């Protein structure tokens, strides 16, 4: 996988060959972004099965089960991780009596399918979302919900890519996204790779830009959406949503159905990851705070559904999301 920790200074790959090494990579943010974490976890399971396939049966099952556990513990907020593991578990159950090599091949095929499906879904989200944007639009985004955060194309940046491909004159305002700088390092880089005009601002400049009429729409991704439409996304998203409402700017959330957690009544139940102090103290080993100062580092916040203009999913655009509208996204046979 691409090592996202070192972008854009260098472009490096990190090889993983087991569930433990993939879990470590997810934990360490080598790979990040909700759908990408899900895809990585699926490959983690497949790699583990391939690694264990010639072991005695009891060891194979026990060790593969441990692989699921270690992957599930890698990060708590993005529900795509648990969604992907659940899907891999269903596949395992369906072939559990077969030869282990066959089980491993089956799990690998499912991981490939999850990856391909994510790209297909992002393209559809892109089409739906692009239709919401005027022919010329300045779009603010927070964090990185691009190709790097998914299997390809992206969710929020997928909409921007699709609109750009459709000939719309889109420019991007990227929040730098303190403290991990996904906007500054990754979104800015992705947009520059494709020559989509991008301007980087610090997070605290969003209100200035909006009050000066320099933003036409906000599009962000999501890590977990509760059944009432509350959205957990990168820390700072809530602040942007409040500002957007104050300035009458549409606030769109691009997310695949795999990011919607219908088991949670509201966003209050979404586990919020607290990350190390070191990320707030400075960057890359350099510290700029007084030694010993108390630090908080919640990595996500929850934007209440009432601030969300619409969710853009592969099954269409859901305006003013609520329980009833989200429920209707699933065909009655799958509910």
The catalytic residue positions are 223
C-beta of 51 vs 234, nearer to ligand MRU: 234
DSSP character string of 64-97:
HHHHHHHHHTS-SS-HHHHHHHHHHHHHHHHHTT
Q: Omega of the bond prior to 179 within 30 degrees of 0, cis? A: yes
Q: Edge-to-edge strands of the sheet including 231-234?
A: 260-261, 224-226, 231-234, 300-303
Q: Edge-to-edge strands of the sheet including 251-254?
A: 198-201, 169-175, 136-141, 217-220, 251-254, 310-313, 316-319
C-beta of 8 vs 95, nearer to ligand MRU: 8
Q: Give the pairing type, strands 217-220 and 136-141.
A: parallel
| Residues near ligand MRU (CB under 6 A) | 32-35, 78, 143, 145, 149-150, 155, 182, 221-223, 233-234, 299
Q: Are 151 and 112 in contact (CB under 8 A)?
A: no
Residue 237 C-beta: closest distance to ligand MRU, Å:
7
Phi-psi bin for 91: left (phi > 0), alpha (psi -120 to 50), beta?
alpha
Residue 31 C-beta: closest distance to ligand MRU, Å:
9
C-beta of 91 vs 232, nearer to ligand MRU: 232
Residue 34 C-beta: closest distance to ligand MRU, Å:
4
Pure H helices in 28-177: 34-52, 57-72, 79-95, 100-130, 156-165
Position of minimal CB gap to ligand MRU: 221
C-beta of 33 vs 267, nearer to ligand MRU: 33
C-beta of 270 vs 299, nearer to ligand MRU: 299
* HSE-up of residue 218 (Cα within 13 Å, Cβ side): 31
Residue 158 C-beta: closest distance to ligand MRU, Å:
8
Residue 94 C-beta: closest distance to ligand MRU, Å:
29
């Amino acid at each position: 996988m691409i090592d996202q920790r070192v972008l854009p200074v260098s472009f490096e790959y990190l090889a993983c060959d087991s569930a433990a090494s993939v879990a470590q990579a997810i934990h360490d943010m080598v790979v990040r972004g909700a759908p990408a974490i899900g895809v990585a976890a699926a490959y983690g399971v497949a790699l583990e099965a391939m690694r264990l396939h010639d072991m005695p049966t009891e060891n194979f099952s026990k060790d593969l089960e441990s692989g699921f556990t270690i992957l599930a513990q890698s990060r708590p907020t993005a529900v795509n991780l648990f969604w992907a593991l659940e899907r891999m578990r269903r596949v395992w159950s369906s072939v559990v009596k077969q030869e282990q090599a066959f089980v491993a091949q089956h799990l690998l095929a499912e991981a490939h399918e999850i990856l391909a499906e994510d790209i297909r879904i992002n393209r559809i989200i892109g089409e739906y979302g692009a239709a919401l944007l005027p022919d010329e639009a300045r779009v603010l985004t927070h964090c990185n919900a691009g190709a790097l955060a998914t299997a390809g194309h992206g969710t929020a940046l997928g909409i921007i890519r699709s609109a750009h491909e459709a000939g719309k004159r889109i420019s991007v305002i990227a929040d730098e996204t303190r403290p991990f700088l996904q906007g500054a390092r990754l979104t800015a880089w992705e947009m520059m790779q494709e020559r989509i005009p991008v301007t980087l601002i610090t997070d605290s400049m969003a209100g200035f830009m909006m009050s000066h009429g320099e933003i036409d729409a906000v599009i962000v991704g999501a890590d977990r959406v509760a059944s009432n439409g509350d959205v957990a996304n990168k820390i700072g998203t809530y602040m942007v949503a409040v500002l957007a409402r104050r300035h009458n700017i549409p606030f769109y959330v691009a997310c695949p159905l795999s990011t919607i957690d219908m088991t949670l009544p509201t966003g209050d139940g979404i586990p919020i990851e607290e990350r190390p102090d070191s990320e707030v103290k400075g960057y890359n080993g350099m510290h700029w705070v007084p030694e010993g100062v108390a630090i908080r580092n919640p990595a996500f916040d929850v934007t209440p559904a009432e601030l969300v203009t619409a969710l853009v999913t592969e099954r269409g655009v859901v305006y003013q999301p609520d329980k009833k509208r989200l429920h209707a996204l699933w065909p009655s046979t799958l509910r």
